[in-house]
Structure 1
Amino acid sequence: MTRFQTQKQVLGLVAWLVVSFIAAGIGSAASINAGAFYTQLVLPEWAPPASIFGPVWTLLYTLMGIAAWLVWRVDGFRAARTALTLFLVQLVSNAIWSWLFFGWQRGALAFVDILLLWALVVATLIAFWRIRALAGALLIPYLLWISFAAALNYAIWQLNPQMLGS
């Protein structure tokens, strides 16, 4: 690999990580007071402590960025347009969820969004897998976490209709 190709790959990795963490930043802007809000909620017994979410999401956004980079580096954006567009759309849905749940405290809408997000993650995982299996595999922890988060979203919404709407 030439020096230019190496630089292009490194910049590509950095760019996909930045894109992923921009989505994280947009979502976290809605979650500034999430810790205080989360402690006020009636939680199911199986709900994790609030301190778990930051490290888990940091790992997941890192894996997402690496997965997108692995797909992009095969033949660029044009060759993987559908897969990478799905990836970007699911990032938007992910960021919106934080606003719906924490920012606007709309439990039902957040649940609908997380179901949409789950479907988008499945579609992205499949599209990534077809291009580069490792990229798809890197999204499996994300899919598992979103599955858990959807169940948690539903349970919390049902336990807290006064705070999250009916």
Structure 2
Amino acid sequence: MDWLLFLVFFGACLGAGLTGGLFQPGEWYRNLRKPSWTPPDWVFPVTWFVLYGCMAAAGARAAVLPGSQYAMAFWALQIALNGLWTPVFFGLKRIRLGFVVVSCLWLAVFGAMVALWQVDWIAGALFAPYLLWVTIAASLNAAVWRLNPAVARGA
């Protein structure tokens, strides 16, 4: 693997992840009703750090291979949507719009995983845990929406 290329992809991941520092959950999120299966707060940064490593490795592996155009396009789309969710959900406090963004993110991650798999099965496999995590995140977003209908309406 080209380690410089890995660092570029990892930098893109960290750039998306910085939105978590800029738009932290805060009191608003702590006061929302959440499902009993909500992971503890410490799980989120640990999981994202591992996933960003997997995502960067997948991108670096596939980027140099012939026929990787669609994989790279989906990779770019998913990292853009990844960086968008936090400002929408925590910054704007828009639970429903957050669900739309995370749903689009799920589709982009799935598309990236399939496209990556076609050029390098290891790169595709590296996206499988990410798809699982985004599935959990989308389910959590949906549950928060359902449990907080007045907040979701903006009331």
TM-score, length of structure 2 as denominator length: 0.91
Are 2:93 and 1:102 equivalent residues in the alignment?
Answer: no
Query: Shift of residue 100 of structure 1?
Result: 1.1
Match of 1:56 in 2: 47
CA distance in 2, matches of 1:30, 1:110: 16
The residue aligned with 1:44 is: 35
Return the letter of the residue paired with 1:87: W
Paired AA for residue 124 in structure 1: A
Check if 1:65 corresponds to 2:53: no
Identity of aligned residues (%): 32
Conserved? CA contact 1:129–1:137, under 8 Å = yes
2:20 corresponds to = 28
Aligned: 1:10 with 2:3: yes
User: In structure 2, the residue corresponding to 1:74 is in which secondary structure?
Assistant: coil
| Offset at residue 37 of structure 1 (A) | 3.3
Contact 1:42–1:160 (8 Å) recurs in 2: yes
**1:16-51 CA distance string (max 9 Å, x none):** 1111211111x214433x143332111111111112
- The answer to whether the Cα contact below 8 Å between 1:38 and 1:50 also exists between their aligned partners in 2 is no
Structure 1 residues not aligned, in runs of 5+:
1-5
Instruction: State the SS of the aligned residue for 2:105.
Output: helix
Q: Distance in 2 between matches of 1:94 and 1:120?
A: 10
Counterpart of 2:12 in structure 1 is: 19
Q: Aligned with 2:93: secondary structure?
A: coil
Aligned residues: 154
**Aligned partners of 1:84 and 1:36: how far apart in 2?**
37
**Does the 8 Å contact 1:105/1:165 carry over to 2?**
no
C-alpha distance in 1, partners of 2:142/2:28?
Answer: 16
The separation in 2 between residues aligned to 1:28 and 1:43, in whole angstroms, is 19
CA distance in 1, matches of 2:53, 2:23: 19
Indicate the structure with greater helix content. Answer: 1
Give the structure-1-normalised TM-score.
0.86
